[in-house]
Structure 1
Amino acid sequence: MVTIGGTGVMVLGGLLAAVVAVLLAVVARRWLGTVSAVAVAGLLWSLVAIALVTLVPTRPDVGIVPAEGRSETCSWDYGGPSGTTFEVFGLDQRTLNVLLFVPAGLFLVLAVGRWWSGVVLAPLGLAALAAYSLGIEFLQLQLARLDRACDVTDMVDNVLGAAIGFAIGLVLLPVVRPWRGRKPAH
């Protein structure tokens, strides 16, 4: 059986996604300007990074999780025990879940801030980030092979992170002014 997982796979995937994002930003810069191109590429990279961190098994040796051993419902124990069982760089799982979604919220605002329609697109995008978190938790529940758990605490923390990033993006918007980017040639 081929097993894939662990932090090495997550980091390698994140680095490969970053290379693709940089190339995308370089190409898109011509049409969008630097700030918007970097924001769009950053948003796409952050969505891929979120998927890697949340959907790749934490260990390469997970193997098969028997059907009778998998959870059939999401945990509704807000702030339950999972928050203290996983740490990286001294940060607990709850903090990591918040931090994971901050870049997506920030890049979202900067990506749509170039256009007036961003006034509508940004809140819709924030709702889409919440739906993305919900979809990830649903996949974690359905795909027992991941050996991950569906948890309402993760969803709340993810949305909080996206909202924090969103607020930071709103503060940065008048500073970086993505609307000053290139205008299409006529």
Structure 2
Amino acid sequence: MLFGSALAGAVFVLLALALRRRLGPTAWTLAGLLWTLVVIGMITLIPADGAPGVVPAATRLTTCSWDIGGPAPEGFWIFSGGQRLLNTVVFVPSGILLALIAVRWRSGWVTVPLGLGLLAAYSAGIEWTQLELARIDRACDVTDIIDNVTGAAIGVAIGLALAVVVRPWRSRR
């Protein structure tokens, strides 16, 4: 996973270098956003315990878990720690970078919510993939989507606050 993250990082650095004349500093932000999405995909779709095992069709789950909050006895708490906290935190950088990219244009007031919706769809797509590919030893859980979207929303809020300071819409030459 570390090698894959480093390789993806190198690819997106090259992308940023190729786009920097056209987009300026936004090229680095865009490359960072794409890199975070690839890393999230690797974190969530690489088999949990090494090589995937064989999951017989009869024992494969057919639906996502709708047990909001999971098996934790304290119920639904966003920051209860462990996996729930990781699911939230992993989407924060994507939300920050999304906001910093989107506010650069006048259509940012439309683009930011649309991008947040796309991050939610990405999370749902990951969970659907985990459901369909039972061999990767991952479980589809609606709580993960809630945590991911919460992290993305927190990231967007941080990104909007940073945008006031960084002002990515101004040209720096």
C-alpha contact (below 8 Å) 1:57/1:146 kept by paired residues = yes
C-alpha contact (below 8 Å) 2:53/2:136 kept by paired residues = no
Deviant stretches of 4+, over 4 Å: none
Aligned equivalents of 2:92 and 2:130: distance in 1? 21
Percent identity over paired residues: 59
**2:42 aligned with 1:63:** no
Work out which of the residue numbers 23, 33, 37 in structure 1 matches 2:27: 37
Residue in 1 that maps onto 2:78: none
State the SS of the aligned residue for 1:178.
Answer: coil
1:48-94 per-residue CA deviation (whole Å, 9 max, x = no partner) reads 111111111122232222111211111111111389xxxxxxx6100
Residue in 2 that maps onto 1:24: 15
Residue in 1 that maps onto 2:64: 74
C-alpha contact (below 8 Å) 1:33/1:180 kept by paired residues = no
| Count of residues paired in the alignment | 166
**2:149 aligned with 1:159:** yes
Aligned equivalents of 1:31 and 1:149: distance in 2? 42
1:27 shift after superposition: 1.9
For normalisation by structure 1, the TM-score amounts to 0.84
State the SS of the aligned residue for 2:169.
Answer: helix
Unaligned regions of 5+ residues in structure 2, if any?
74-80
C-alpha contact (below 8 Å) 1:31/1:182 kept by paired residues = no
Q: Superposed, which structure 2 residues align to 1:7-22 within 5 Å? A: 10-22=1-13
1:45 shift after superposition: 0.6
Answer 1 or 2: which has greater helix percent: 1
Higher alpha-carbon deviation: 138-147 or 59-68: 59-68
1:109 shift after superposition: 0.7
Unaligned regions of 5+ residues in structure 1, if any?
1-9, 84-90
Aligned equivalents of 1:181 and 1:142: distance in 2? 46
1:120-179 per-residue CA deviation (whole Å, 9 max, x = no partner) reads 111100011111111111111111111110001101000000001000000000211111
Aligned equivalents of 1:18 and 1:48: distance in 2? 9
RMSD: 1.8
